Amino acid sequence: MTAPFDHGLVIGKFYPPHAGHHFLVRTAADSCRRVTVVVMAADVESVPLAQRVGWMREAYADRPQVAIAGIVDNLPVDYSSDSVWAGHVALMREVVAAGAHAAAPVDAVFTSEPYGAELARRFGAADVRLDGARETFAVSATAVRNDPVGRWDALEPPVRAWFARRVVVLGAESTGTTTLSRDLAQALRTRGGPHALTRWVPEYGRELTVAKLAVARALAARRDLPEPTVFDLEWSDADFEAVAARQSAQEERAARDGGPVLVCDTDALATTVWQERYVGRTTEAVHILANAMPPRALYLLTDHEDVPFHEDGLRDGEKLRPWMTERFRTVLSARDVPWQEVRGDRTTRLQLALKAVDRLLEEGWRLAVPLG
């Protein structure tokens, strides 16, 4: 089928991009031989321009005819002002002229807004207006900003990952971190709706410990040596760098297909403490990975006092639990991040965690009002 238009234009703030935006871009891509999408963001807004451009490029990576570009637009919105109109359009033309489809004049403008007619007129292009009443996709960027949870199904995976409130449970060995993080994720899933998608990110360090011990035992058996225990394992800086990197990668994958809250059993910040505990220092590489993590919404520190030490063949630090608990307190207090220590039995800890998560959700995301 021959496309009826040569070069389609889609403009918007994409703050954030949602299903309605993607309807516009898909329609343009199906109707034009080439498409330019212009992301226009103001400095006062909470999601950076580069972030929005990245989201859109990822969404259309399989459509080479769709070119995504962005520009900062700090001009006010005033549909009655010819000079304001001229300023906005000049920025759009600047992006188009610098883009992959600069040689082809824009002959179709795709919008879902009343301003579409004037925008199309200024480009000398056809006015393709879609879903102005929001009946096909009952969503808007304003609605998403005000209630991301209620519009979760309108968001693509990378946008969900950005919005996900990341709750990290950490603590010394055998202090109930895995139990609490699993219980919290399951309790959120039972709420249904978007929360039914709640993901739990397991501790990669434990997985690595199991693997290292299995390899060490296999080598010992082959050499007819005594079977090693967890106390015989050797840990290197490279091990902890791998743990931090793998933990963050697992977290990001889970955030993309999960719900509004992501529950993590440890993270790269906790790895800095574990590295210190096993090799006596934290390397710059692990610090860099910890500092590169997306924002943490909340840390929950499990205290060791209420949990008897359980030896499962993978633990070796019963006497170090008080030191590690205090070290976690120090590390968390030094960072600009919310954290809460949880004590009590299993039920009490879960109740405390759920109350803390509910406070996060009640606070909302507090995104800045777009310039307009």
Q: Domain check: are 270 and 355 in the same one?
A: yes
pLDDT, tens digit, 9 for 90 and up, residues 139-150? 999 999 999 999
pLDDT, tens digit, 9 for 90 and up, residues 66-107? 999 999 999 999 999 999 999 999 999 999 999 999 999 999
Q: Domain check: are 195 and 124 in the same one?
A: no
CATH number of the domain enclosing 24: 3.40.50.620
Whether 23 shows a pLDDT value over 80: the answer reads yes
Closest CA to 372 of 11, 3, 5, 13: 13
DSSP collapsed to 3 states, 89-152? HHHHHHHHHHCCCCCCCCCEEEECCCCHHHHHHHHCCEEEECCCCCCCCCCCHHHHHHCCHHHH
- Whole-number pLDDT of residue 306: 80
Contacts of 188 (CB under 8 A, 6+ apart): 195, 198, 259, 261, 263, 354, 357
154 inside domain: no
Q: Which of 79, 112, 147 is the last residue of a domain?
A: 147
pLDDT, tens digit, 9 for 90 and up, residues 360-371? 999 999 999 998
CATH number of the domain enclosing 306: 3.40.50.300
152 inside domain: no
- Whole-number pLDDT of residue 313: 52
370 inside domain: no
153 inside domain: no
As a whole number of angstroms, the distance between CA 106 and CA 89 comes to 12
Q: Domain check: are 105 and 188 in the same one?
A: no
Q: Domain check: are 354 and 226 in the same one?
A: yes
As a whole number of angstroms, the distance between CA 185 and CA 180 comes to 9
As a whole number of angstroms, the distance between CA 332 and CA 339 comes to 7
Question: 96: number of CA atoms within 13 Å, CB side?
Answer: 22
Q: Domain check: are 77 and 187 in the same one?
A: no
Domain that holds residue 297: 164-363
Helices (H), the chain: 19-31, 49-59, 82-98, 116-123, 141-146, 157-163, 177-189, 204-222, 237-256, 268-279, 284-291, 321-333, 346-363
What mean pLDDT value characterizes the chain? 94
Q: Domain check: are 69 and 213 in the same one?
A: no
Q: Domain check: are 208 and 255 in the same one?
A: yes
- Whole-number pLDDT of residue 312: 59
- Whole-number pLDDT of residue 151: 97
Q: Supply the pTM of this predicted model.
A: 0.92
Element (H, E) at 168: strand 165-171
Position 133 confidence tier, pLDDT thresholds 50, 70, 90: confident
Q: Is the peptide bond before 16 cis (omega within 30 degrees of 0)?
A: yes
Closest CA to 103 of 12, 57, 36, 53: 36
pLDDT, tens digit, 9 for 90 and up, residues 208-250? 999 999 999 999 999 999 999 888 889 999 999 999 999 999 9
- Whole-number pLDDT of residue 321: 87
Q: Which of 118, 147, 176 is the last residue of a domain?
A: 147
- Whole-number pLDDT of residue 310: 67
Q: Domain check: are 238 and 279 in the same one?
A: yes
As a whole number of angstroms, the distance between CA 340 and CA 357 comes to 11
Q: Domain check: are 187 and 311 in the same one?
A: yes
Q: Domain check: are 205 and 339 in the same one?
A: yes
pLDDT, tens digit, 9 for 90 and up, residues 241-273? 999 999 999 999 999 999 999 999 999 999 999
The predicted model gives 51-59 an average pLDDT of 98
As a whole number of angstroms, the distance between CA 205 and CA 243 comes to 6
156 inside domain: no
As a whole number of angstroms, the distance between CA 119 and CA 115 comes to 6
Q: Domain check: are 96 and 133 in the same one?
A: yes
Two structure tokens written together for 227 = 């079977």
For the four alpha carbons of 319, 323, 326 and 328, in that order, the dihedral sign comes to negative
Q: Which of 147, 173, 190 is the last residue of a domain?
A: 147
Q: Report how many domains make up the chain.
A: 2
Q: Domain check: are 199 and 331 in the same one?
A: yes
Contacts of 327 (CB under 8 A, 6+ apart): 273, 276, 277
pLDDT, tens digit, 9 for 90 and up, residues 279-329? 999 999 999 999 999 999 999 999 988 887 766 554 666 788 899 999 999
372 inside domain: no
Q: Is residue 262 a contact partner of residue 167, using CB atoms and an 8 Å limit?
A: yes
